[in-house]
Every structure is written in structure tokens, then in C-alpha cells.
Amino acid sequence: MNAMPRLPSTWFDGRSPRAQACDLCIEGEELVLTLESGVRRYPVREVRWAERRSHGQRQSELPDGSLIQHADAGEWDAWRQASGQREGAVVGWMQSWRATLVAMVASVVFLGAAWTWGVPWLSQALAQQVPHSLEVRLGEQGMQQLDRLFLQPSALPAQQQEALRTRFRSAVERAFPEGSSPAWQLAFHRSQALGANAFALPGGFIVITDDLVNLLTDQPDAITGVLAHELGHVHHRHGLDLMVRASLVSALVGVVLGDASGFLASVPATLATQAYSRDAERAADAFAAQLLERSGVSPSVMVAFFERIRQQEETDQDDGGHGDTTLPIAIASHPGHDERTRFFREWQREPARP
Ligand SMILES: [Zn+2]
């Protein structure tokens, strides 16, 4: 092995301000520091080497807290190079604006990917971990808020309500003979703001409006289908997913801006303002189709629902509409009626379950 170059330099023991002359040399994996008082050896990898800036002295920290200071930057860099020490990749990168640009783009791509895939993945995973008791509490809280905003007491006869509830219950029981269906409770409400609509909240709170019941009076199986769609959202915990996602986003924003105070307060409002993803809607539709089919009802009964909602929308447009109040998680707000109509019309019998 060739003899490595030596560099006379200055050392501070880290306790006193007294500079001591030293002599530096790299031997294999070690930095060898020769002082008047003796020789010290440090693993090269454990030294925090001076960052390479264009000006100023070079200061390196040693693992025991002592320091090497070298006034002549050029001399130091030349010695490092001659000793076969490569600049740390990070330092080299930082000197190149091009690399900086690449790093920035990479960061944006990374954040974008985290946003697109990481947040949904994480919120889904966390939503599945929420205990049922907390799910119910969040649902109750959301229910209170939506009740204030959108709902009035139902004007439907109690008998009609009970008949629809019983019809849905028996369909659920036929579809889940083992009793493995998610827990649910059904409430009927008049709602000027929401028109003909239905929605579900975490914990299994399902609401259907008088207008929707009246729109489908002669199609009670379609009502069952709508309720099954809502039960699908409960089963997949889509409402919780929205809440968790909003908390993650506001928590992230809180971390970035250094203020997380608003983050818990915003959670209940999420349910009034956010929409489920198209994937979530497809999953809820598939749940509904399966439930209908297993309970002995053709999923194509849902076609009547989509047709009448569409007619209703056209009438509303002629009348100038219901106003701008919408609840994105409610079923009439979901986009893609055509695709969904086709889905239920063309639903294929699933293979017999083992
Ligand atoms: Zn839905």
C-alpha cells in the first residue's frame, strides 16, 4: 500500500478552547491523528467530515466530540482527495443545481405518490383498526350534525316505515344467514335540502328520505337495493375512511405549518363535505348486488332507482333545481348513473359459494 499523504492541522479536544497542533493521515479505514501527547485513531465512517463549501475553513467532528479545524479549504480538499476519500454523495449533489432540481422533482413525485397511494392506503388500514364502539360514537356525532343541517322528521306513516324496515331486515337475513352482516339501523327523514336521497354514516346509521321512498313506492325492492348500497358503505367503512383521511391530511398540514389545533375540530364536518371515491361506490354497488341476489331479488331492480332519479333531476332542472345544498356521500349525488345502471342490469350471478 502506498503511504497516504499527511496533513498538519489543528485539533480541539472539545472541552478547552486551546488549539493543539496535529498531523492527520488516513490508514485503511481509520483516521490517524498524531498529537504531541500521543496518537488517536477514529473509524473514518464515524467522522462527521466537513461539508464542502466553496469558502471558509473546514471543520470536522470526531466521534469523541473533539474537532479538527483547518483554515485552508483548498489544502484540506486536496488532502482528502489524495487520501482516496470520496466526497459524500449528498455534498456532491448539493453543489449541483441540476441535481437539486432533480431532487426537487423527485420530492414532488414522492409527495404526489404518497398523496395518491400512501394516504388512501394508510387511511383504509387505519379505518379498519377503529374499534366498533368508536365507530358508533363518530357516527352518532355525524348524525347529530347532519340532522341539524339537512333533516326534518319523517311524514311517512309509521306502518309504511316499519314495512320497509322489515323488508330490508329479512333481505339482509337471507343474504347473511350466519348473522355476519354489519350492524345497522334505519331512520326515515323528510329533507327539503336533500330531496330523494339516502346515506349512511359510520356505525351503521342509514337514513332514507321521504322523497326517495315516495319516488319508489311501487318498487320496494329498489328501496331495499338502495339501503343495501348504503350498508355496503358501512361494511367497507367508507365513512370512517373519509374521516381518517381528513384527519391525516389536516394532521400533515398541521405538522407542516406547525399548528395542529384545527385538526380534530374539522373531523365531523368531513362527512358533510367529502365524497366517496368511485372505487368506494363500485364496492358499495357490488355489495348491494350481492345482497340482493343472495336474498333472492334480482339486482336489476336497481335500474328503476336510477331511471327515476334521472327523471327527478330533469324535472328539478326545469324547475330551477333544489338549490345548491348537496351531501356528496348521499346516493343521489353519486356520479355515473349510466355506468351504474349497466352494472346492475348486467350483474352476473356469482358462482355458488362453497
Ligand atoms: Zn354510495
Ligand 1 centroid – CA 44 distance (Å): 61
Domain count, the chain: 2
Q: Which residues surround ligand 1, an ion (CB under 5 A)?
A: 281, 284
Q: Do residues 70 and 193 both lie within one domain?
A: no
Is 352 contained in some domain? no
Q: Do residues 47 and 156 both lie within one domain?
A: no
Is 116 contained in some domain? no
Q: Which of 66, 94, 122 is the last residue of a domain?
A: 94
Ligand 1 centroid – CA 284 distance (Å): 6
CB neighbourhood size of 158 (10 A): 9
What local confidence, expressed as pLDDT, does residue 134 receive?
85
Residues 70-97 have pLDDT tens digits of 988 888 888 988 888 766 555 555 566 7
Higher pLDDT, 87 or 208: 208
Is 253 contained in some domain? yes
Q: Do residues 169 and 298 both lie within one domain?
A: yes
Is 106 contained in some domain? no
> Percentage of residues in the chain with pLDDT exceeding 70?
85
pLDDT exceeds cutoff 60 at 238: yes
The kind and range of the H/E element at 42 are: strand 38-43
Give the confidence band of 188 by pLDDT, cuts at 50, 70, 90. very high
Ligand 1 centroid – CA 341 distance (Å): 14
Residues 334-349 have pLDDT tens digits of 878 888 999 999 887 6
Ligand 1 centroid – CA 196 distance (Å): 14
The domain containing residue 337 runs over which residues?
Answer: 130-345
pLDDT exceeds cutoff 70 at 321: no
Average pLDDT, the chain: 84
Q: Do residues 163 and 279 both lie within one domain?
A: yes
Q: Which of 76, 94, 112 is the last residue of a domain?
A: 94
Ligand 1 centroid – CA 74 distance (Å): 67
Is 220 contained in some domain? yes
Averaged pLDDT, 9-37:
90
- In this prediction the pTM is 0.65
Q: Do residues 23 and 160 both lie within one domain?
A: no
- As beta bridge partners, residue 39 has 34
Locate all alpha helices (DSSP H) within 206-237, ordered by sequence.
210-215, 220-235
Sheet of 38-43: strand order equals 38-43, 30-35, 20-27, 7-12, 67-70, 58-61
Q: Do residues 75 and 156 both lie within one domain?
A: no
- Max CA-CA distance within the chain? 101
pLDDT exceeds cutoff 70 at 315: yes
Ligand 1 centroid – CA 331 distance (Å): 5
Q: Do residues 75 and 189 both lie within one domain?
A: no
Q: Do residues 170 and 75 both lie within one domain?
A: no
> Percentage of residues in the chain with pLDDT exceeding 90?
41
Averaged pLDDT, 302-320:
83
Ligand 1 centroid – CA 226 distance (Å): 9
Is 41 contained in some domain? yes
What local confidence, expressed as pLDDT, does residue 117 receive?
75
C-beta of residue 25 within 8 angstroms of C-beta of residue 5: yes
Q: Do residues 163 and 61 both lie within one domain?
A: no
Phi, psi of 257 (to 5 degrees): -90, -5
Ligand 1 centroid – CA 277 distance (Å): 9
Residues 239-292 have pLDDT tens digits of 988 888 877 776 666 666 665 555 545 555 677 778 888 889 999 999 999 999
C-beta of residue 210 within 8 angstroms of C-beta of residue 189: yes
What local confidence, expressed as pLDDT, does residue 284 receive?
95
Ligand 1 centroid – CA 323 distance (Å): 21
Averaged pLDDT, 195-221:
95
Higher pLDDT, 169 or 15: 169
Ligand 1 centroid – CA 25 distance (Å): 70
